[in-house]
Amino acid sequence: MTEQMDKETREAALQGMGCSRKRKEDARFIQGKGRYTDDIQMAGMLFADMVRSPYAHARIKSINKEKALALPGVHAVLTADDLKPLNLHWMPTLAGDVQAVLADEKVHFQYQEVAVVVADDRYIAADAVDLVEVEYEELPVLVDAHKAMDVDAPVLREDLVGKMQGAHSERKHDNHIFNWQAGDKEATDRVFQNAEVVVSQDMYYHRVHPCPLETCGCVASFDKVNGHLTVYLTSQAPHVVRTVVSMLSGLPESKVRVISPDIGGGFGNKVGIYPGYVTAIVASIVLGVPVKWVEDRMENISTTAFARDYHMTGEIAADKDGIIKALRVNVLADHGAFDACADPSKFPAGLMHICTGSYDVPVAHLNVDGVYTNKAPGGVAYRCSFRVTEAVYVIERTMDVLAQKLGIDKAEIRRRNFIKSEQMPYKTCLGWEIDSGNYHMSLQKVLDAVDYDGLRREQEEKRAKGELMGIGLVTFTEIVGAGPSRNCDILGIGMFDSAEIRVHPTGSAIARMGTITQGQGHQTTYAQIIATELGLPSEEIQIEEGDTDTAPYGLGTYGSRSTPVAGAATAVAARKIKAKAQKIAAHLLEVSEDDLEWEVDRFKVKGNPGQEKTMKEIAWAAYNNVPEGMEPGLEAVDYYDPPNFTYPYGIYLCVVDIDKQTGETSVRRFYALDDCGTRINPMIIDGQIHGGLNEGFAVAMGQEMPYDEQGNLLGNTLMDYFVPTFVETPKWETDFTVTPSPHHPLGAKGVAESPHVGSIPTFTSAIVDAFAHLGVTHLNMPHTAPRLWKTIQELGVK
């Protein structure tokens, strides 16, 4: 065997970075052996269920618990009045607002939590919920965000009346939450006044729900003897939950243990803290027994964390050649009854100011007003990094409108405005620094792959025959990996993340992380990073997450932050171990550290073949033969505060055919090229992209939470709420380029959300393109057959 072959064999055996290692998690999942929150059983455990409001806005005149309490097996019925003495009837939200844990005198949205019943089992609890009698007095309902700040609009939040200073700005109206701006308004307006071409497009990004397979829930268990509280919880951020629980309950954080077991998908739905968690914890502390609360599907869609509901206007000022001179974005943000968005504290509209996209925009201004309505609270990042989906949607849609107005092809107008690779790292006019990217190269790759010119010719022919064919194109840049603690914190805690790696004497290892997997495959990919960094086989590296008693503090998994932040922490912790290993190797080989070089899994003495120590040998020595003065053991921890966000990007192209008779859309082709920098596990990346595209397809083509004028949510069951299966899902074609992040230790950027963020405007772009020759510039989502059929009728397409 040649030396080269030997090296390659050893490298392959590690199953490290770049290898499509099979997912470690799947063995238990496909055998039904996952352990989810609802699988937790404890002796003496009781069940909690919620009494919820049928009204969107009403005053509670009385609550009669008598009949419910008389039902055998019922232990308690708690209302806001019962939580008042503990000061837990309201709780702080991550967005600086407060939210009623149980409705206090008033209900603000349909299905709001009014009382909680605790009983022997969930069936008795459900029966008892029906026996709680609540008398309401209906109040005028506000569901239209555009009317929220009308003079005669009903005041929703009586608790805030007179408090005109909000968490983020002054409030202009009792239903106003905040005004938030980025960029230079005056300079932008000036450019618009003198621009050769101006386009403006209103668009509504509808209210949707992440709808993970597993709904939210918890099991709270308070041990009265030692004062310890253990909470099993479906949380994407268990450490933050521990801090919040400690702050709310007064228990020392050391006596609160939060465990996120296996999680059946999160997509942002499991970031927040919900009344169900709080009441289960209170019930367990009061009753001294474990209490489980798990929501059903209707409760999940109706109450825990929706996404979007942004009314946006995108405006571009350009010259006649389509070169952007300025961008203006205006947003009316419907946050529902309580501002419970999950965003870094400083940014009430998340990272919406990435809305300049992949383009060289000289000046821009973003204005966001948040308002209250009688809808459920939330506003989470549904498979997205804090409003990036909205930002990408508004810029990509407006670019199409500009192209259409000038009669320039949508690929060409993007090419003309792209930030050039030589401009990287590029400072955007709204304050971000895009780390790397080669947009021109990636776009060309996609256009060549699909024969773009051929598609356009085909479209011409089809149009001549009266057929509806659309080509959608989106060239998006995301901002993920929140984030640098100088601009990102949650409740004052910087958004770093962590890894703690311990190498055992025999050379296997365990790593514990501050993140938590919900399907991303962390147990597989983190091990691959360590395998490559330390030369230990990934198969022998155990990854643990989600138990706050054992894992180092981290801010959790959402916003595609695991690889950019915790992945970096893993690499840095591994490098700390490697540095110590090098010292031990030098000691063992009796040479200077500088005489050593690293090769796959061992340190070799330069120019002296055969003199070497493998990492496994070094690990053994770390516990019995270390240099004098060095402490034994081989472990390290790293809390990684990223110097910048990462900016993955993608070029997505979609071809649709729309049936004129039925309005049915057939997605003929979807080509997704992603650049997420260094690729850790190509198979997992492909899986993530397929998943994200599916969810993007769901949002664009069917998902919606429609409210009627009375504030009824019409569509909170899976009969109505669209979750695509294999039957509906189009075939995905994936491709990639690699532009590593210059500041990330591995060059990786994160990928899980790009396909969701990027695909949604691509579908809209394709659908609108099918009608573009008829003067249509935009159509709001979801692009369902009945809605498109109406469009076809209105346009008189024959």
- Binding positions for another protein, rule: CB under 8 A: 51-52, 54-56, 110, 130, 132-134, 136, 298, 302, 708-717
In the complex, the smallest distance separating the C-beta of residue 63 from another protein, rounded to whole angstroms, is 10
Q: Which of 384, 429, 488, 676 is catalytic?
A: 384
CB of 135 to another protein, least distance (A): 9
Instruction: Let me know if 28 is a catalytic residue.
Output: no
| Residue 753 known to be catalytic | yes
Q: What whole-number distance in Å separates Cα of residue 516 and Cα of residue 512?
A: 10
Give the C-alpha distances (Å, rounded to integers) separating 618 from 307, 461, 507, 539, 591: 50, 69, 8, 19, 14
CB of 214 to another protein, least distance (A): 22
Q: Which residue has the tokens 């030692």?
A: 226
At position 201, the amino acid (one-letter code) is: Q
DSSP SS3 for 366: strand
Is 611 in the active site? Answer: no
Residue 109 near residue 301 (C-beta atoms within 8 A): no
Minimum CB distance to another protein smaller for 68 or for 480: 68
> Which listed residue (110, 236, 404, 528) is catalytic?
236
Minimum gap (Å) between residue 706 Cβ and another protein: 9
> Which C-beta is closer to another protein: that of 608 or that of 717?
717
Do the beta carbons of residue 770 and residue 658 sit within 8 Å? yes
124: tokens are 């008795």
At residue 50, φ and ψ (nearest 5 deg) are -105, 140
Annotated active-site residue in 11, 545, 695, 753: 753
* C-alpha–C-alpha distance, residues 524 and 543, integer Å: 8
Residue 437 beta carbon to another protein: minimum distance, rounded to whole angstroms: 45
Is residue 435 within 8 A of residue 424, CB to CB? The reply is yes
- Please say if 236 is a catalytic residue: yes
Pairing of strands 493-494, 489-490: antiparallel
Measure Cα distances from 481 to 496, 564, 750 in Å.
9, 5, 7
Task: Look up tokens 């929703």; give the residue.
Answer: 156
Nearer to another protein by Cβ, of 57 and 387: the residue is 57
In three-state secondary structure terms, 511 is strand
Contacts of 313 (CB under 8 A, 6+ apart): 200, 201, 202, 203, 329, 330, 331
**From the CB of 127, what's the least distance to another protein, in Å?**
10
Q: Token match 């349909």: residue?
A: 110
Q: Which is nearer to another protein, 54 or 682 (CB)?
A: 54
Instruction: Give the nearest distance from C-beta 536 to another protein in angstroms.
Output: 54
> In whole angstroms, what separates CA 539 from the centre of its chain?
29
Residues 6+ apart with CB under 8 A from 389: 205, 307, 308, 381, 382, 383, 756, 757, 760
Q: Which residue has the tokens 């894992």?
A: 551
Question: From the candidates 207, 328, 383, 512, which is the catalytic residue?
Answer: 383
Output 52 or 587, the one with its CB closest to another protein. 52
Q: Among candidates 354, 375, 370, 449, which has minimal Cα distance to 757?
A: 354
- Residue 58: CB minimum distance to another protein, A: 9
Q: How far is the CB of 235 from another protein (least distance, A)?
A: 28
The smaller minimum CB distance to another protein, of residues 51 and 689, is found at 51
Whose Cβ is closer to another protein: residue 79's or residue 358's?
79
CA 665 to chain centroid: 28
Cβ closer to another protein: 200 or 712? 712
DSSP state, residue 480: B
- Which C-beta is closer to another protein: that of 549 or that of 709? 709
Helix (H, G, I), strand (E, B) or coil at 27: helix
Q: Hey, what's the torsion of the CAs at 375, 380, 383, 389, to 10 degrees?
A: 90
Give catalytic residue positions.
Answer: 236, 383-384, 753
